[in-house]
């Protein structure tokens, strides 16, 4: 059986038979990425409070911002590194190494004894996480038919937020039931007893971070069942090995830089503003008698995840129905309006806050359904993983610099509304940048 590719040539039978395996691997890989990313906002305050001690409350926010920035830098470096590796040795082999990298070092975060340990381990885990995105996107977009790419882009974008949702539901269960105590009663032969206790002396954040090692099992599935991209095989067999500098050759350099700018707007807007809604919810909930801050933090993350899952799929479909540039422009405009309302008009925790966060995250996360569709359309297969990996992960560098800069402007204070309102202004340049980019709707993937 054969399928029709973007350039109307039949794909190899192996690609046709293995396309679902490739999609499943990419979805699960990015879902586990989201699970690990979603862990840190939930454990950031308790972990820093424990590692720094009760007398270092003023250092909590600077450390959280610093570790987040370090994570983003690691993801950026990993996206470029593993993207380049995927163009040299193949998408599947490189994906195995990227998943194994972020699994091992994510699990080791549970054993951190100082804040810098946690920062260093998250940097190393982020290397693999950044690479997994570019490799999974390149593989899926090259194996599946062109007319399926919009919904596939939406599913890949939604995958990380499914991970967010899973970890938030787990955190809610741990906060509102005796699940943590039950686990402690049955798993103390494997983990220290303190890993299942909250409050003074409790280190339940370590157990949650240890869950980050789970994706390691995915590597066996990828290696055995996922086929390599025939497009990559053909391109690599008939051209020199890919080099990072190739994406800056004439004809590609402008696209590479524009792709990085588009991703930078999306990533800084997310990491520097909407992602902070979770710790902001914890802070506001702690000031309301009778509320459990940990449970309310989980609820805030549940709302953000559900909004993002819907947003990424809807945006990818809309980008195909209308066109790429109009949808990106609309996302920037609506994200700017809703974020300014969220961070300037809402001052108390409650239903209005939660629903607004869901809408804001649905819009701002919509970029992650748009980027997997658009970035592969800029680069030929020989350097596709390198090019889209560089573009997407350069955005993470901008997000890291922006997050640290805004935090320094406010002296490390937990003034989330002001910091996030300023950061979300990044959508203003996005309104202009998109019109410098080519429209790719209806065109085949470059060969």
Q: For 21-63, how does the pLDDT look when each residue is reduced to its tens digit (9 = 90+)?
A: 888 888 888 888 888 777 887 788 788 888 887 776 667 778 8
Q: Is 60 exceeded by the pLDDT of residue 315?
A: yes
What pLDDT, on the 0 to 100 scale, is given for residue 237? 72
- Tokens of residue 215, six digits: 């994706």
- Average model confidence (pLDDT) across the chain: 82
What pLDDT, on the 0 to 100 scale, is given for residue 324? 92
The whole model's pTM is what? 0.78
The whole-angstrom separation of Cα 142 and Cα 173 is 40
What pLDDT, on the 0 to 100 scale, is given for residue 202? 64
Give phi and psi for 10, each to the nearest 5: -70, 140
Average pLDDT over residues 288-310: 86
What pLDDT, on the 0 to 100 scale, is given for residue 328? 97
The CA–CA distances, whole Å, from 399 to 168, 250, 385, 393 equal 23, 27, 21, 10
So where are the chain's domains?
Answer: 13-222+230-436
Q: Is 60 exceeded by the pLDDT of residue 410?
A: no
Average pLDDT over residues 145-163: 84
What pLDDT, on the 0 to 100 scale, is given for residue 14? 42
pLDDT tens digits, one per residue of 358-399 = 999 999 999 988 998 898 888 888 788 788 878 887 777 777
Q: Is 60 exceeded by the pLDDT of residue 16?
A: no
The CA–CA distances, whole Å, from 77 to 12, 214, 230 equal 33, 23, 27
Average pLDDT over residues 163-177: 80
The whole-angstrom separation of Cα 341 and Cα 359 is 11
What pLDDT, on the 0 to 100 scale, is given for residue 23? 85
- Tokens of residue 83, six digits: 């993207």
Among the four given CATH numbers 1.20.1250.20, 3.40.1440.60, 2.60.40.10, 3.30.1370.10, the one describing domain 13-222+230-436? 1.20.1250.20
What pLDDT, on the 0 to 100 scale, is given for residue 265? 92
> How far does Cα 441 stand from its chain's mean position?
25
Residue 412's pLDDT band (boundaries 50, 70, 90)?
A: low
What pLDDT, on the 0 to 100 scale, is given for residue 68? 83
> How far does Cα 188 stand from its chain's mean position?
32
The residues facing 268 across adjacent strands are: none
Q: Quick one: CA dihedral 438, 439, 445, 447, positive or negative?
A: negative
The residues facing 10 across adjacent strands are: 4
Comparing CA positions, the residue from 54, 127, 136 lying closest to residue 91 is 136
What pLDDT, on the 0 to 100 scale, is given for residue 108? 93
The residue assigned the tokens 């939406």 is: 154
Average pLDDT over residues 180-195: 78
Q: How many Cα atoms are found within 13 Å in the side-chain-facing hemisphere of 228? A: 18
Q: Is 351 exposed, middle or buried (0-12, 13-18, 19+ CB in 10 A)?
A: exposed
DSSP result, 264-316: HHHHHHHHHTGGGHHHHHHHHHHTSTT--HHHHHHHHHHHHHHHHHHHHHHHH
């Amino acid at each position: 059986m054969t399928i029709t590719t973007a350039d109307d040539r039949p794909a190899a039978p192996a690609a046709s038979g293995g396309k679902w395996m490739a999609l499943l691997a990419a979805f699960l890989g990015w879902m586990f990425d989201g699970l690990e990313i979603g862990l840190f906002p939930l454990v950031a305050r308790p972990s820093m409070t424990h590692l720094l001690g009760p007398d270092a409350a003023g250092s909590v926010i600077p450390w959280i911002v610093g570790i987040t920035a370090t994570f983003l830098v690691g993801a950026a470096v990993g996206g470029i590194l593993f993207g380049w590796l995927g163009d040299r040795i193949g998408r599947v082999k490189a994906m195995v190494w990227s998943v194994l990298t972020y699994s091992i070092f994510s699990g080791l975060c549970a054993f951190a004894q100082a804040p810098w340990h946690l920062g260093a381990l998250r940097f190393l885990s982020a290397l693999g996480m950044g690479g997994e995105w570019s490799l999974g996107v390149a593989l899926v977009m090259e194996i599946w038919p062109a007319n399926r790419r919009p919904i596939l882009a939406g599913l890949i974008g939604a995958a990380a937020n499914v991970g967010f949702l899973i970890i938030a539901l787990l955190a809610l269960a741990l906060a509102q039931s005796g699940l943590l105590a039950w686990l402690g009663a049955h798993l103390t032969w494997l983990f220290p007893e303190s890993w299942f206790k909250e409050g003074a002396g409790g280190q339940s954040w370590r157990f949650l971070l240890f869950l980050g090692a789970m994706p390691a099992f995915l590597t066996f599935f990828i290696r055995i069942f996922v086929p390599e991209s025939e497009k990559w095989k053909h391109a690599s067999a008939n051209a020199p090995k890919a080099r990072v500098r190739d994406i800056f050759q004439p004809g590609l350099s402008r696209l590479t830089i524009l792709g990085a700018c588009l991703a930078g707007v999306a990533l800084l807007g997310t990491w520097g503003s909407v992602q902070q809604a979770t710790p902001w919810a914890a802070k506001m909930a702690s000031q309301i008698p009778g509320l459990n801050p940990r449970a309310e933090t989980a609820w805030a993350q549940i709302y953000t995840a559900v909004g993002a899952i819907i947003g990424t799929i809807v945006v990818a479909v809309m980008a195909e129905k209308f066109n790429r540039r109009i949808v990106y422009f609309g996302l920037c405009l609506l994200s700017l309006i809703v974020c300014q309302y969220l961070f300037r008009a809402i001052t108390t925790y409650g239903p209005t806050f939660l629903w607004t966060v869901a809408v804001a995250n649905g819009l701002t996360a919509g970029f992650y359904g748009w980027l997997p569709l658009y970035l592969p359309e800029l680069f030929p297969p020989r350097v596709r993983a390198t090019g889209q990996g560089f573009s997407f992960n350069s955005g993470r560098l901008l997000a890291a610099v922006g997050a640290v800069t805004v935090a320094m402007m406010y002296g490390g204070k937990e003034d989330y509304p002001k910091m996030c309102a300023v950061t979300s202004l990044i959508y203003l340049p996005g309104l202009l940048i998109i019109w410098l980019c080519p429209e790719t709707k209806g065109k085949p993937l470059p060969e």
